[in-house]
Amino acid sequence: MTTQDLPSTAGNPESSGRTIPPASVARLTIYLRALNSLLAEGVERASSEELAEAAGVKSPMLRKDLSYLGSYGTRGVGYDVQLLTRTISARLGLTQEWRVAIIGAGNLGRALAGYSGFTTRGFEVAAIFDADPSIIGTEIGGLKIHNTADLETVLHRTGANMVVLAVPGRVAQDLCDKLVAAGITSILSFAPVVLQVPPHVQVRKVDMATELQILAYHAQRAQESELDSETRARKAQ
Amino acid sequence: MTTQDLPSTAGNPESSGRTIPPASVARLTIYLRALNSLLAEGVERASSEELAEAAGVKSPMLRKDLSYLGSYGTRGVGYDVQLLTRTISARLGLTQEWRVAIIGAGNLGRALAGYSGFTTRGFEVAAIFDADPSIIGTEIGGLKIHNTADLETVLHRTGANMVVLAVPGRVAQDLCDKLVAAGITSILSFAPVVLQVPPHVQVRKVDMATELQILAYHAQRAQESELDSETRARKAQ
DNA sequence: CCATGTGAATGCCTTCACAGCC
DNA sequence: GGCTGTGAAGGCATTCACATGG
């Protein structure tokens, strides 16, 4: 790939863009949330300092992140909240609607199906699946639970183009394979296993056990350094 | 801080340790899971190649990560599954038991309370809280739901030293402040807001909306490059 | 003047290649 | 001989400092 087959940015100031570093993409979603709060409060302008504060980052970082989108601020003034909101949304792909299928109607699947943060911004729950015959056919929030045996058919019929996997680890890879076979390329997995997928499929993982373990690591270190300083204090006596 | 007051590693081959890079800590939890699977299958030894495969990383990375723990492999042979499991567990702080309080007994809180992956490894649910009078006093999985008004008392009585916050964004900061005041220093938050805490408090955030938005970004890019290549193909005709 | 946008500097993480050891 | 452990190299991400432009 040479400089020449770079996408159509040349005469196209609109979707002005090269690829955004992954770390920045993650933070853009946070900025978006901060901006939505400001929007709700009726705030029209904000400086990088104010936005950074709200997002919990330092202002130079926020400015660098925003610079990947192009130049949407006004020097000496700040950013127009509405414009910036629209710009980030567009760039993250939130102006089109995404149809999400939830696989697994256990506790977690139900919680997700009822999660309002879902529908509020560009994500629509398109279908819910489970393998348990005793709950297939019953409804959750107005959506009938489908049989995972009908995965491909129902995914296509409902137009689902994203999937949230909320199933036990032992069946996750099997379902994942079926999703890939059905043409799904975006998967958010809550299953505590490493999913093997072809390179064109994006998988993101949310893992409570991992997060708790990371907290445990830091908590233990804090304990140790506490003990250390006690020991030191005792020696110093 | 000079080299001299480095912790007690000198004559202490046991907890051989300097601080592990954050990125490595995160992966160690994954290795641990892979090791537990192997253990369950009765496998006694594994090479860095095999472990890396199971964890979805490249072998040099796994070896570097493990090197932060010290030297627990055998050259020419590989790693003893049991020994490595114990070593990682100890270093992550999983040999002591952590008592977790869940704040918020909505759909998500209930799902978490019932999550088996919790209790299986060093984490015990110590208490559950909610602010809704209509469910306070009822039980979930044998645990009575406490009033968030009694937060501090109950946290101390139950010996909780970690908290999972599963409450709506608008009340998260308020509860977080109360947790900090009660002496909690490890918080896993599912609330879609940036929590402000003093530096000695560790907060980790799990955020489904963010994860979906990141997927949307990549999905949109995939769409675009697909369109691009179609256009190019058409032009080439 | 003031706050944005950005090249340059720094630091962290990952990858590589191979020395060291069983 | 084979696989671990690790210094060195390379690639990202973050921070800094300031030039730029309303």
CATH of domain B11-92: 1.10.10.10
Count the neighbouring beta carbons within 10 Å of the beta carbon of residue A204: 15
Q: Which residue ranges make up each domain of chain A? A: 3-92, 98-206
Specify the DSSP class assigned to residue B183.
T
CA pair distance B11, B21, nearest whole angstrom? 23
* Nucleotide minimizing C1' to CA distance for residue A58: D15
B73-74 vs B78-80, strand pairing mode:
antiparallel
- In angstroms, rounded to a whole number, what is the distance separating the alpha carbons of residues A232 and A225? 10
Q: B132, B183, B121: which is closest to B153 by C-alpha? A: B183
Distance measured from the CA of protein residue B231 to the C1' of nucleotide D20, in angstroms:
38
Pairing between β-strand A78-80 and β-strand A45-46 as defined by DSSP bridges: antiparallel
pLDDT of the residue at B210: 96
Q: Which residue type sits at B3?
A: T
pLDDT in tens, chain A (237 residues): 333 333 333 333 334 568 999 999 999 999 999 999 999 999 999 999 999 999 999 999 999 999 999 999 999 999 999 999 999 999 999 999 999 999 999 999 999 998 877 777 789 999 999 999 999 999 998 999 999 999 999 999 999 999 999 999 999 999 999 999 999 999 999 999 999 999 999 999 999 999 999 999 999 999 988 777 777 776 776
Cα A178 to Cα A104, A109, A205: the distances in Å are 14, 18, 18
Topology of the domain comprising A3-92: Arc Repressor Mutant, subunit A (1.10.10)
Nearby residues of A112 by Cβ (< 8 Å), 6 or more positions away: A102, A118, A164, A166, B208
Output the pLDDT for position B226: 76
Q: What are B190-212's pLDDT values in tens digits?
A: 999 999 999 999 999 999 999 99
Q: Say how far apart CA A131 and CA B220 lie, in whole Å.
A: 31
Taking C1' of D17 and every protein CA, the nearest residue is A60
To 5 degrees, how large is the angle CA A75–CA A80–CA A84? 105
Q: Give the residue on A whose Cα is nearest the Cα of B37.
A: A193
Instruction: Flag if A220 and B112 touch (Cβ within 8 Å).
Output: no
The verdict on a CB contact (< 8 Å) between B33 and A192 is yes
Structure tokens at B90: 């100890």
Which of A14, A208, A221 to mutate: most B Cβ within 10 Å? A208
Give the 3-state secondary structure of A178-201.
HHHHCCCCEEEECCCCCCCCCCCC
Fold classification of A98-206 (topology level): Rossmann fold (3.40.50)
Tell me which amino acid residue A115 is.
Y
What positions of strand D are covered by protein, i.e. any atom < 7 Å from a CB? 1-7, 12-17, 20-22
Question: Which positions on strand C lie below 7 Å from a protein C-beta?
Answer: 1-7, 12-17, 20-22
- Quote the crossing angle between the two packed helices A81-92 and A22-41, to the nearest 10°: 140
CA angle B226, A164, A36 (to 5 degrees): 80
pLDDT score for A9? 36
pLDDT at B230: 74
Q: What is the pLDDT of residue B18?
A: 79
Low-confidence ranges of chain B (pLDDT < 70): 1-17, 234, 237
Strand C-contacting residues in A 39-68, CB cut-off 7 angstroms: 47-49, 59-60, 63-64, 66-67
- Closest residue, by C-alpha, to the C1' of D14: A61
Token pair recorded at residue B40: 């369950």
Secondary structure (DSSP) of B55-109: HTS-HHHHHHHHHTT---EETTTEEEHHHHHHHHHHHHT-SSPEEEEEE--SHHH
